[in-house]
Amino acid sequence: MKKGEEIEFIKDGKRVDGRTFDELRNIKIEVGVLERADGSCYLELGDNKVIAAVYGPREMHPRHAQDAKMAVIKFRYNMAPFSVDDRKRPGPDRRSVEISKVSREAFEPVIMREYYPKAAIEVYVEILQSDAGTRTAGINAASVALADAGIPMKDLVSSIAVGKVGGEVVLDLNAVEDNYGEADMPIAMIARKNMITALQMDGRLTKDEFGRGLKLAMNACHQIYELQRTALIERYNKRESVKFEEREA
Amino acid sequence: MYKVVIPGDFVSDDVNRAGEGTYVEDGKVYAVTYGVVDDKNEIRVVAFSGKYIPVMGDVVIGKIIEISFPYWIVDIASPYEARLHMSEVAMRAEKRVEFGNMSAYLDFDDLVAVKVINVDAMMRIDLALQEDLDIGSEGRLIEISYTKVPRIIGRKGSMIRMLKEKCKCFIFVAKNGRIWIKGKAEDMKLASEVILMITTEAHTSGLTDRVAEFLDSSRQRVKKR
């Protein structure tokens, strides 16, 4: 597909992958997948596959970056070389540094940082497979991993992107829509309070489209919040049913 | 059956009883960690996991990680390092404890039972030696999350009493989640197995009875062999 080539994004009210305008891709969340991390989460959002690991609170290094009043959050968003079509050169680049920064700031309002002066809370998000919207998938996974690590938080953060393709405002863009669409707007929010903690926009939207997009994202974040919640609660209910007789066998 | 909550879950309207693991907003109590609700005297959320934060008076097991005159720097399984002053050892030392010979009394990787005597706002932690508890080179140390310690001890110490009795071991459970077991090799193995079982099933009810059953059945199996 060449740039500038016309793609039929909308056909009979359906999108390229058959979804409606306000439909999410499939989401799968698994809690506590890593043995060595204090908290972890594996998440799939359509064809995105991400894993998040949380360590800490632990001692902050380097020392001069410590904050005497509250914990410092370290957030690293990293794409695996094999996560995209052309091999990605490993290591941090302009894009991943930016995403790490906005993701970290998305969590600053919810984490009770003042509980742990001078310490660091480290979040690592690894993108194993990418299909547009990895930063939102990363934030969703990190949120669950933080809860799993026992980090005190006011609430979970949920995140999703909205955008504009073929003149329509749609939810949760996939790779084709993201690359050739007209606008992309990832949003992170505290779903329960409808409080936005991160918002970026690439492309152009009118004021009206922005409003409609925001509404779509809010609804979707409520759905994602429920999935995150269920994943966390189910984990312990499942454990409960394992009797020790079965365990012995 | 315990109620599992996640951060931000509504727990109660009773603001006056809001305790550990909760926060109050607009006259309501919400959970601050992922855990189970304990609604006995005050409303608490008992976290499933997390790091130990020292509190004055806690008895913990520490490991010497650095010698920096006049302190031993002690790792207490917490985000913060603690320090043990030279004078703590001086009382029972034969010779004067000095700059050069601190390692003769406590060396790297030595385990110590210590009491937290002070924690300041900067999270500087001062320790005192717990005189009545001397951790030698015998026995084994297991490390669990500090959040599970109350479960290991049980209501009024019922669980730990039973463990000691049925495993025929000396067991010391420190507040920071480190557990010291001393006894015959076989007994120690059983004890650590059971403690692991308690940690994975800490959030379930009727645990003491199940543990007792497990201990009896495994003892019988050993006898048969």
A108-151 tens-digit pLDDT: 999 999 999 999 999 999 999 999 999 999 999 999 999 999 99
Of A116, A229, A244, the CB nearest to B214: A244
Position A240 scores a pLDDT of: 52
Position A91 scores a pLDDT of: 94
Residue B53: name the closest of A114, A212, A47 by CA.
Answer: A114
Of B7, B8, B122, the CB nearest to A68: B122
Span A171-199, pLDDT tens digits: 999 999 999 999 999 999 999 999 999 99
Quick one: average pLDDT of A224-232?
96
Å between A210 CA and nearest CA of chain B: 28
Q: Is residue B186 domain-resident?
A: yes
Q: Are B93 and B105 in contact (CB under 8 A)?
A: yes
Residues B145 and B208 in one domain: yes
Of B77, B104, B129, which closes a domain?
Answer: B129
Helices (H) and strands (E) in chain B, counts: 6, 14
Q: Are B183 and B167 in contact (CB under 8 A)?
A: yes
Å between A187 CA and nearest CA of chain B: 20
User: Which residues contact residue A232 at a Cβ distance below 8 angstroms, ignoring those fewer than 6 apart?
Assistant: A31, A144, A147, A148, B4, B6, B34
Percent of chain B whose predicted confidence (pLDDT) is above 70: 99
Of A56, A233, A236, the CB nearest to B79: A56
Of B101, B129, B157, which closes a domain?
Answer: B129
Q: Tell me, what CATH number does B157's domain have?
A: 3.30.1370.10
Q: Is residue B135 domain-resident?
A: no
Residues B68 and B110 in one domain: yes
Model-level pTM? 0.91
User: Which residues contact residue A23 at a Cβ distance below 8 angstroms, ignoring those fewer than 6 apart?
Assistant: A171, A172
If pLDDT is split at 50, 70 and 90, which confidence band does A3 have?
low
Q: Which amino acid is at A196?
A: I
User: In this structure, what DSSP letter does residue A193 have?
Assistant: G
Residues B149 and B168 in one domain: yes
Residues B11 and B85 in one domain: no
If pLDDT is split at 50, 70 and 90, which confidence band does B1 have?
low
User: Which residues contact residue B60 at a Cβ distance below 8 angstroms, ignoring those fewer than 6 apart?
Assistant: B52, B54, B76, B77, B113, B114, B115, B116, B174, B175, B176, B178
Of B79, B204, B210, the CB nearest to A119: B79
Residues B158 and B88 in one domain: no
Q: What domain range includes position B185?
A: 140-224
If pLDDT is split at 50, 70 and 90, which confidence band does B28 have?
very high
Does A245 have pLDDT greater than 70? Answer: no
Residues B168 and B197 in one domain: yes
Residue B144 is encoded by which pair of tokens? 């669990």
Angle (CA) B12-A140-B13 rounded to 5° is 5
Does A102 have pLDDT greater than 90? Answer: yes
If pLDDT is split at 50, 70 and 90, which confidence band does B225 have?
low
If pLDDT is split at 50, 70 and 90, which confidence band does B209 have?
confident
Position B105 scores a pLDDT of: 87
Span B90-130, pLDDT tens digits: 777 777 778 888 888 889 999 999 999 999 988 999 999 98
Cα within 13 Å of Cα(B7), Cβ side = 25
Interface test with A, best of B4, B10, B51, B65 (most A CBs within 10 A): B51
- The alpha carbon dihedral of B50, A104, A98, A32 has a sign of positive
Q: Is residue B29 domain-resident?
A: yes
Position A242 scores a pLDDT of: 45
Q: Is residue B79 domain-resident?
A: yes
DSSP string, A57-121: EEE-SSGGG--SSSPEEEEEEEE-GGGSSSPPPSS--HHHHHHHHHHHHHHTTTB-GGGSTTEEE
Residues B149 and B220 in one domain: yes
Position B104 scores a pLDDT of: 86
Q: Is residue B24 domain-resident?
A: yes
Position A239 scores a pLDDT of: 61
Residues B30 and B9 in one domain: yes
Position B93 scores a pLDDT of: 72
Residues of B in contact with A192 (CB under 8 A): 8
CA distances from B56 to A58, A135, B20, B60, B65 (A): 20, 42, 16, 11, 21
Bridge-based pairing of strands A48-59 and B140-143 is unpaired
Mean pLDDT of chain A: 92
Q: Tell me, what CATH number does B97's domain have?
A: 2.40.50.140
Tell me if chain A has a CB within 8 Å of the CB of B32: yes
Of B102, B129, B156, which closes a domain?
Answer: B129
Q: Is residue B52 domain-resident?
A: no
Position B89 scores a pLDDT of: 83
Residue A45: name the closest of A128, A103, A101, A104 by CA.
Answer: A128
Please identify among residues 195-214 of chain B the ones whose CB lies closer than 8 Å to any CB of chain A. Answer: 197, 200-201, 203-204, 210, 213-214
Does B80 have pLDDT greater than 70? Answer: yes
Q: Which amino acid is at A125?
A: V
Q: Which amino acid is at B73?
A: I
Residues B93 and B121 in one domain: yes
Å between A10 CA and nearest CA of chain B: 39
Quick one: average pLDDT of B158-171?
91
Count of the separate structural domains present in chain B: 3
Q: Is residue B54 domain-resident?
A: no
Q: Is residue B154 domain-resident?
A: yes
The CA-based diameter of chain A, rounded to the nearest angstrom, is 64
Total residue length of chain A: 249
- For the domain with range A27-239, which CATH number is right: 3.30.230.70, 1.10.240.10, 3.40.50.1820, 3.40.30.10? 3.30.230.70
Highest mean predicted confidence (pLDDT) among A5-14, A161-170, B197-206: A161-170
- In whole angstroms, give the CA distance from residue A104 to residue B70: 40
Residues B157 and B215 in one domain: yes
Helices (H) and strands (E) in chain A, counts: 5, 10
ipTM > 0.85 (yes/no):
yes
Q: Residue for token digits 């094999």?
A: A82
Interface test with A, best of B10, B11, B29, B34 (most A CBs within 10 A): B34
Residues B167 and B116 in one domain: no
Residues B162 and B205 in one domain: yes
Residue A106 is encoded by which pair of tokens? 């998305």
Residue B70: name the closest of B103, B39, B111, B98 by CA.
Answer: B98
Position A4 scores a pLDDT of: 53
Position B40 scores a pLDDT of: 86
Residue A121 is encoded by which pair of tokens? 């809370």
